[in-house]
Amino acid sequence: MSFFQVGRSPIMTIKSQVLALKYRPQIFKDLIGHEEIATTIYNSIINNSSANAFLFTGIRGIGKTTFARIVAKALNCEHTLEGMCEKKCSHCDPIANSNHIDVLEIDAASKTGVDDVRELIEFSRYPPTVSKFKIFIIDEVHMLSKQAFNALLKTLEEPPEYLKFIFATTEVKKIPITVISRCQRYDLARINSEELFKYLKNITIKEKKNVEDNAIKLIVKLSEGSVRDALSLLDRATISNNENSLTYEDAQRVFGYVNKSSYIELLEIIFLGDEKKIINHYRKLYNTGIEPHVFLNDFLEVLYFIKNISYIENGGNNFSLNDGDYKKITSLSKVVNPNAILLFWEFTLKTLKEINFVANPNLLVEMFLIQLTFLKKKNLIQNDQQNEINKTPLKNIDAKNTINNEAISQIKNITQEEKKIEKKNTLEINNITDLIKICVEKKEMKLKYELENNINLVSFSNMNIEISFNDKLNKNFVKDLSEKLYDWTKKRWLISFSKEKGEMSEKERKNSLKKENIKVYKNSNEYKNLLRELPDIELIDIEKKDD
């Protein structure tokens, strides 16, 4: 459709040969995966009903900043209503090159202060010099300070007709809701695997690179839906190969990626209970460069596939498994007891939790794999089946009798003991006073100071803490307190701000009580008698003694 063609055609003569820049979209038509959003924005522009401010959010590398630039070009393009820019446009080229006098692109990571925003607002008072709109593109807008956001609010809500804001961010939760509500928000989703595969395939054809389809599928999997990551990986893989030909094995070697078949083979050895082969097999994987935590996560992924392979279709949008691995896992899932897989899953998760507590994670993984052989050595596989398993690996495992009830009970007991210890180590916090006491016990003096001096409590109940806004409060207070509360109670707490005034802070309460005590004592006969004897005395404080 013609509306996707607003702007200039892609400039393929860019000096830089980096694919992510060379193939950066220049018009709506070049964007992949966001056709509905492109349609919506284009229609608003041609109908003269575009928003005062646009907000693009999503993960890295899916086109937020690119989208912002294309929208800026569409707003100022001389041929927008014609559906395409066939002639050389006096606005599109300068915007693409970031040197248009009326389109200012700002990196909020380096311009975070309120003074920077005030300068921007002052600049916005002047109408555009040569184009229809003056446009401010603010990248990583969540990096602006709270005061900077507040300074933007009025201008965002009622800007001049000639002014547009376009924001881009990866962390929309850090932007105040008052700012978000003044923007037209667009959430850019991860790019569909099949669509990204076709996109990369076309680029390899344009670049005259011979790349196997399976190698492209591996790149798509590793990119996790990010176009920029996918292009960077493709760039890296093709540059590393001097012969302009890239096989699946080449891609594995370049990215340090271990094939799923290696994990499948490892599982087969584990079920046979051969410790020596298990360790040797793992050490071969380790020597390829795989990190222990990556190994455990990949191991979990294979366990997931074995347990749920009947619900997974190979091909299409799923590039996690190649055809050979898919067939192996399908066969394996038919002969392995699901209970064994679930048990392996629990052991793997437990090891992942412990991996940061040991100096050498590699040793932890080796012990983890030996632990899995415990299932066989403790007769978790029935004796009358062992000979058959040794002869023909995994072909005659009885799905109903593989796991011994006694061993499962032992594992349950271990889990229950761990939960008891965990429960014993948790703390009960029922009010702000309890929280301050625990901060003292845990030597969290920074949190204690904030709780006593800058917290005006609105409510405290059921793991919910509601407090009033306070400019003096440290910006990391909520994050730090949430993390500590989870560490102390093993539960997630909700900490929120309220427009209500709230109670006095602990410091204000103590000062108020102090003043009240002084006032009461000054009216007492004891104090009056002291004044007669010592007229110049001044009462500063009152302290209660235990005796």
Render pLDDT for 492-516 as a digit per residue (tens, 0 to 9): 888 887 777 788 887 888 888 888 8
Q: In this predicted structure, what is the pLDDT of residue 141?
A: 92
Q: How far is CA 240 from CA 133, 233, 234, 235, 486, in A?
A: 45, 11, 10, 9, 46
Answer whether 282-424 and 432-498 agree in fold: no
Domain spanning 193-255 has what CATH number? 1.10.8.60
Q: How far, in Å, CA of 184 to CA of 167, rounded?
A: 10
In terms of Cα–Cα distance, which of 221, 202, 212 is closest to 248? 212
The CATH topology of domain 282-424 is Zinc Finger, Delta Prime; domain 3 (1.20.272)
Class for domain 432-498, per CATH? alpha beta
What are the pLDDT digits (tens) for 123-150?
888 888 888 899 999 999 999 888 889 8
Q: What is the mean pLDDT of residues 324-346?
A: 82
Residue 499 C-alpha from the chain's centroid: 29
Beta-strand pair 464-468/53-57: unpaired
Average predicted confidence (pLDDT) for the chain: 79
Q: In this predicted structure, what is the pLDDT of residue 56?
A: 94
Is pLDDT above 70 for 8?
no
More confident residue, 91 or 10: 91
In terms of Cα–Cα distance, which of 155, 174, 135 is closest to 57? 174
Q: What is the mean pLDDT of residues 284-309?
A: 85
In the chain, what percentage of residues exceed pLDDT 70?
82
Is pLDDT above 90 for 55?
yes
Q: How confident is the model at residue 177 (pLDDT cuts 50, 70, 90)?
A: very high
- Pick among 3.30.750.24, 3.40.50.300, 3.40.50.2000, 3.40.50.450: CATH of 2-187: 3.40.50.300
Q: How confident is the model at residue 186 (pLDDT cuts 50, 70, 90)?
A: very high
CB-count exposure of residue 377 (10 Å: 0-12, 13-18, 19+) = exposed
Is pLDDT above 70 for 391?
no
Q: How far is CA 187 from CA 18, 169, 259, 472, 494, in A?
A: 27, 10, 33, 33, 25
More confident residue, 378 or 267: 267
Highest mean pLDDT among 1-5, 79-83, 523-527: 523-527
Q: How confident is the model at residue 421 (pLDDT cuts 50, 70, 90)?
A: very low
For the CA atoms of 52, 58, 60, 62, the dihedral, rounded to the nearest 10 degrees, stands at: -80
Query: Per-domain residue ranges for the chain?
Result: 2-187, 193-255, 282-424, 432-498
Q: In this predicted structure, what is the pLDDT of residue 415?
A: 53
Q: In this predicted structure, what is the pLDDT of residue 388?
A: 43
* Helices and strands in the chain: count of H runs, count of E runs: 24, 10
Q: In this predicted structure, what is the pLDDT of residue 517?
A: 83
Q: In this predicted structure, what is the pLDDT of residue 384?
A: 39
**Hunting for tokens 């929280």 — which residue is that?**
435
Q: In this predicted structure, what is the pLDDT of residue 57?
A: 93
Residue 469 C-alpha from the chain's centroid: 27
What are the pLDDT digits (tens) for 301-328?
888 888 888 777 655 445 566 667 778 8
Q: Are 275 and 295 in contact (CB under 8 A)?
A: no
Q: How confident is the model at residue 166 (pLDDT cuts 50, 70, 90)?
A: very high
Is pLDDT above 70 for 409?
no
Q: How far, in Å, CA of 157 to CA of 146, rounded?
A: 17
| pTM (whole model) above 0.85 | no
What are the pLDDT digits (tens) for 191-212?
888 889 999 999 988 888 888 8
